């Protein structure tokens, strides 16, 4: 597995973790993903360099590790937020990046949280109404905000 740095200024780059000098020097907005490419398939600095790859990185099965908002430091994503991001379908990821206030049905929430009870609310979700509708909050919302800046949504 390799880490990939996604920014609006550069194509996706293979990097180390947040302590990597390239990562540390990168201003926000930026996101660090664990890419499912094995180390034999991609070496340091050999990530594909197309905008389509950035979209694939965001919408694919890559685990977000950390994000950096504009003017802020790096924030390491908690395991729960990273798990929930991985549980989102590509279509739902696109929807949440385009509209960070988008509502999810109870069914969408349950699928995203791997069948967790719809009454279990974490710091990454908020709900309202009857029937319940859910919205991202906390780290998930902040991640979606940073990704929206990167993609221009």
- pLDDT of 54 strictly over 90: no
In 3D, which of 36, 97, 31, 28 has the Cα closest to residue 66? 31
**Structure-token pair, residue 59:** 């919408």
- Compute the distance between CA of residue 4 and CA of residue 111 in angstroms, rounded to an integer: 27
Output DSSP code: residue 99: -
**Structure-token pair, residue 29:** 């907005």
Most confident range, picked from 16-25, 32-41, 114-123:
16-25
Output DSSP code: residue 89: -
Percent of the chain with pLDDT over 70: 79
- pLDDT of 112 strictly over 70: yes
Q: How does residue 38 score in pLDDT terms, banded at 50, 70 and 90?
A: very low
Range name among 16-25, 55-64, 133-142 with the lowest pLDDT average:
55-64
């Amino acid at each position: 597995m390799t880490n990939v740095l996604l920014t609006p200024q550069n194509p996706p780059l293979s990097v180390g973790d947040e302590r990597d000098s390239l990562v540390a020097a990168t201003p926000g907005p930026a996101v660090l993903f664990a890419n499912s490419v094995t180390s034999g398939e991609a070496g340091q600095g050999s990530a594909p360099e197309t905008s389509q790859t950035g979209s694939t990185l965001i919408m694919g099965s890559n685990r977000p590790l950390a994000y950096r908002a504009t003017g802020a430091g790096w924030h390491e994503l908690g395991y729960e937020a990273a798990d929930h991001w991985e549980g989102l379908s590509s279509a739902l990821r696109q929807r949440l990046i385009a509209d960070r206030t988008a509502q999810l049905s109870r069914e969408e929430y349950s699928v995203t949280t791997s069948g967790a009870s719809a009454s279990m609310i974490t710091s990454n979700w908020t709900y309202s109404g009857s029937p319940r509708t859910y919205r991202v909050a906390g780290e998930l919302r902040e991640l979606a905000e940073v990704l929206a800046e990167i993609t221009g949504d």
